[in-house]
Amino acid sequence: MLEHGGRLRVASQHYGIALADWVDLSTGIAPWPYPVPEIPLSAWQRLPEDDDGLVDAAQNYYGAANILPLNGSQAAILALPRLRSAGTVAVLAPSYGEYVPAWRAAGHRVIECAAEDLLKQDGDAVDVIMLANPNNPDGRCFSRAVLLALARRLSEHHGWLIVDEAFADVDDENSLANMAGMAGAENLIVLRSLGKFFGLAGARVGFCIAAPALLARLQEALGPWPLAHPARLIAKAGFGDTAWQAAQKEKLRAASGRLATLLTTNGLPPNGDTALFQYVQYNDAVALYERLAQRGILVRYFAEPSALRFGLPESEAAWARLENALGQCGCPANS
């Protein structure tokens, strides 16, 4: 099983610091979650129902016509590779670590490509291209025009373009959710989720946006009731709360800018970002990760390239902890 951010219990045991004494910046999840409404007892007693209004709310929020609720977008990441016969899949690197093993486990040949090489691929060379937009962990974005052109080239050989938009809620000008599975982009598949922007990763709510025929196959592969009734109610409420969404976007943008300034001031100018994290390539990232962890600051370390990803502090006390820790660590410029 791959390592992910947010493993506080492991860090607590390893560094001998109590769970309550950590500042967890390792996940890229909004530190201010949507205020979940009270869940009626009936939601715990009754099986989920497809006509509860969730799909309508999701279609309105994402601007998408064809959408399937999932037990997190991870469910689609694992299931989609098994809906194609074995072929060649190109995956953006570096990117989310679950893509490659999912395709390999289903018997596909996987090639990991830098962005420049990935965008040159076509249906003669690969059957599927998968990427995140914005990318995780470095925040790199690809324009709609570039990705739609890539999808058209793949369609000539019945290939798929899969775009994971987990971090697209705040800055969504490059989102392809309204195009996925539509005329001229039938081979385009977009994944979305509530985990990051809404801060509700524990609810495990995701969506696949694609052509109706593909969604029907995916639904059959996942089986009935892929999303719990309480999670459906929470998602529907969040999608309808436009005032909260606007305030959350403003708050996240301001915090991300503040974090970039703090890191730069301490010798760690970011190399990439989203409204939910800052990404810093740093030659001695593993040592800095250790020094921060010893002070109860958990960030995300990446070995290739050597880098750290910083999520957003939750409170002024957390901001002060991070600022003090960075000052104590000392961050010489990259050589």
Q: In this predicted structure, what is the pLDDT of residue 4?
A: 56
Is pLDDT larger for residue 62 or for residue 10? 62
CB proximity list for 119: less than 8 A, separation 6 or greater: 142, 146, 150
- Judge if 203 and 121 occupy the same domain: yes
- Domain CATH code at residue 148: 3.40.640.10
pLDDT in tens, 275-302: 999 999 999 999 999 999 999 999 999 9
- Judge if 224 and 196 occupy the same domain: yes
Asked whether residue 334 is domain-assigned, the answer is no
Q: In this predicted structure, what is the pLDDT of residue 1?
A: 40
- Radius of gyration of the chain from Cα atoms? 20
Q: Of 288, 240, 205, 218, nearest to 66 (Cα)?
A: 218
pLDDT in tens, 294-329: 999 999 999 889 999 999 999 999 999 999 999 988
- Judge if 219 and 138 occupy the same domain: yes
Q: Is 129 within 8 Å of 139 (Cβ atoms)?
A: no
Contacts 24+ apart (CB under 8 A), 106-115: 106/81, 106/82, 108/81, 108/84, 115/140, 115/142
Q: In this predicted structure, what is the pLDDT of residue 6?
A: 56
Q: Which residues pair with 313 in a beta bridge?
A: none
CA angle, residues 271, 177, 137, in degrees to nearest 5: 20
Domain boundary among 207, 240, 273: 240
| Mean pLDDT value of segment 144-152 | 96
> Structure pTM?
0.94
Query: Quick check: 5 pLDDT over 70?
Result: no
Domain of residue 209: give its range.
41-240
- Judge if 227 and 132 occupy the same domain: yes
Q: In this predicted structure, what is the pLDDT of residue 3?
A: 55
- Domain CATH code at residue 255: 3.90.1150.10
pLDDT in tens, 47-104: 999 999 999 999 999 999 999 999 999 999 999 999 999 999 999 999 999 999 999 9
Q: Is 6 within 8 Å of 28 (Cβ atoms)?
A: no
Q: In this predicted structure, what is the pLDDT of residue 177?
A: 97
